[in-house]
Amino acid sequence: MIVTPGKISGIDLTFTAPPSKSYTHRALIAGALAGGKTTIFRPLEAEDTRLTAGALRSLGVAVEDQPGRIIVTGCNGALPNRRPTTLNLDNSGTSLRLLTTLALLCQYPVTLTGSARMQERPIGPLARALPALGGTVEFLQEDGYPPLRVSGKLLGGPVVIDGSMSSQFISSILMAAPYAQKEVEVIIPAPPASASYLDITLSVMEAFGAKVERTGYGRFVVSTADRYQGRRYTVEGDYSSASYFFAIAAICGGRVTVKNLAPDSVQGDRRFLEAISAMGCTVMYGKNTVTVENSGELKGIEFDMATSPDTVQTLCMVASMARTPTTITGISHLKFKESDRINGTADRLRALGGDVTVGDDRITVRPAPLHGGTIDPANDHRTAMSFAVLSLGIGGVTITDPACVNKSFPGFWESLKGIIP
């Protein structure tokens, strides 16, 4: 367990953002499907990305780990699994969802499963879309949930998919689409959750040579004439992980600079900076750095975080230190993450003295005197990291199961070693 010290203030710190988990997953998949070799520089080395790499190896792709890089020998869209294959993706929803459509490019059927929590996370909208593309999906336990067996061929054509629960359902189809037998047209009838992650998906696809015609977030047409080509690819820094460092400045007061961040990144979690700026922080951009300063009281805001899901909990922590209420909207899909992040965050803040109310698509945090306590993150990495940041502002918090951060940010506690013993 991690026990935080007393309240700290007036900090002046510099951190380096770890590589992006979202980009690493997608680069691994594009490299695996590409023609020729891909070298991925500065990949995120974490539990989730290792699960994706391991699954690709199980499907017959050569994935070689080297210091600071991963070398992937592409299969040119024909995944050579030699027998029916089971992929256990543990608690990595991104891995399981992105690889589901990929299974239609395999020689033999693929079964995708995971942890007990993974088997509670719905995948029905993606599974129901695949038959239109040539796939067959069989649920092995509960309808609409893993484990599921996927077989068939990726024929292509038009497909309608509901992305209101997760944009990863859409990304799954998009990433495999260049290898369909005919052009794939993806139609999304309602605004997708976490739409900014589709921008990440397209960014990686196009970097590897794919061509996608889009109409906003409602329609994507993927060419089958332009397929992925192996290349040298460098993973950019992660704004989701950097949010914890920015929040330290907001909560404790002082100045934090984070290196290894692209100022023009399409990552939706950049909006966290807009939120804390509206609350009273000063945000300054350098060539590859972002600096946040806070020298006064924080004020509450109303803010839509629909495109920034992984920083909602972090913003709740900042909001709990503000002098007026904060309401965060656009968050209904957070119920389906590694834990129910809406009610789980509210319950844990209340345990520390917080005043929190929850609606179907919103959470409101009001000013209240906070105190120390024990936080069990329930194996949710983002819960552990967000409450660790809050603990620096109130002191006396014990966080159990600190190793759960290895899912996305194995170096998190090491980064804070100058603050938390």
Angle at 144 between CA 139 and CA 149, to 5 degrees: 25
What mean pLDDT do residues 75-100 have?
Answer: 96
Q: Is 272 within a domain?
A: yes
Residues 271 and 289 in one domain: yes
Pairwise CA distance, residues 91 & 86, whole Å: 15
In 29-133 the beta strands, taken as DSSP E runs, fall at 37-41, 62-66, 69-73, 85-88, 110-113
- The closest alpha carbon to 328, from 312, 317, 341, 340, belongs to 312
Give the pairing of strands 110-113 and 148-152. antiparallel
Residues 243 and 198 in one domain: no
Pairwise CA distance, residues 347 & 362, whole Å: 14
What mean pLDDT do residues 394-403 have?
Answer: 92
Among 219-233, 358-372, 407-421, name the one with the lowest average pLDDT.
Answer: 407-421
Sheet holding 254-259, edge to edge: 11-16, 254-259, 289-294, 282-285
Domain boundary among 195, 219, 234: 234
pTM of the predicted model, to two decimals? Answer: 0.94
Here the tokens at position 190 are: 């309602």
- Overall domain count for the chain: 2
Here the tokens at position 297 are: 């009281």
Residues 219 and 252 in one domain: no
Q: Which residue type sits at 104?
A: L
Residues 221 and 300 in one domain: no
Pairwise CA distance, residues 195 & 166, whole Å: 9
Residues 222 and 258 in one domain: no
Give yes or no for residue 337 having a pLDDT over 70: no
Residues 42 and 100 in one domain: yes
Q: Is 420 within a domain?
A: no
What contacts 90, CB < 8 A, 6 or more positions away? 47, 51, 114, 115, 118
Greatest mean pLDDT among 54-63, 113-122, 327-336 lies in: 54-63
Residues 220 and 242 in one domain: no
- The closest alpha carbon to 250, from 215, 210, 295, 187, belongs to 295
**Is 269 a catalytic site residue?**
no
For 67-84, b/e burial (b = at least 16 CB within 10 A) is eeebebebbebebebeee
Q: Is 311 within a domain?
A: yes
Residues 261 and 408 in one domain: yes
Q: Tell me the CA distances in angstroms from 88 to 21, 31, 106, 121, 382, one per residue in order.
A: 19, 21, 16, 14, 22
Give 291's strand partners.
Answer: 257, 284
Element (H or E) spanning 51, and its range?
helix 47-58
Q: What is the 3-state secondary structure (H, E, C) of 367-383?
A: CCCCCCEEECCCCCHHH
Pair 104, 153: CB distance under 8 Å: yes
Q: Is 421 within a domain?
A: no
To which residue do tokens 């967000």 refer?
386
Report percent pLDDT > 90 for the chain: 88
Residue 165: Cβ-neighbour burial (10 angstroms; 0-12, 13-18, 19+):
buried
Domain boundary among 234, 256, 286: 234
Residues 109 and 161 in one domain: yes
Q: Is 354 within a domain?
A: yes
Domain boundary among 200, 234, 268: 234
Greatest mean pLDDT among 78-82, 154-158, 193-197, 377-381 lies in: 154-158
Residues 130 and 223 in one domain: yes
To which residue do tokens 């009281």 refer?
297
Residues 319 and 206 in one domain: no
pLDDT band at 330 (very low <50, low <70, confident <90, very high): confident
Q: Is 72 within a domain?
A: yes
Encode pLDDT of 30-56 as tens digits. Answer: 999 999 999 999 999 999 999 999 999
Q: Which residue type sits at 394?
A: I
Residues 60 and 206 in one domain: yes
What mean pLDDT do residues 254-274 have?
Answer: 96
Q: Is 268 left (phi over 0), alpha (psi -120 to 50) or beta?
A: alpha
What one-character-per-residue DSSP string does 16-27 give?
EPPBPHHHHHHH
Single out the catalytic residue among 48, 162, 238, 310: 310
- The pLDDT of residue 194: 85
- The CATH number for 136's domain is 3.65.10.10
Domain range enclosing 306:
2-18+237-415
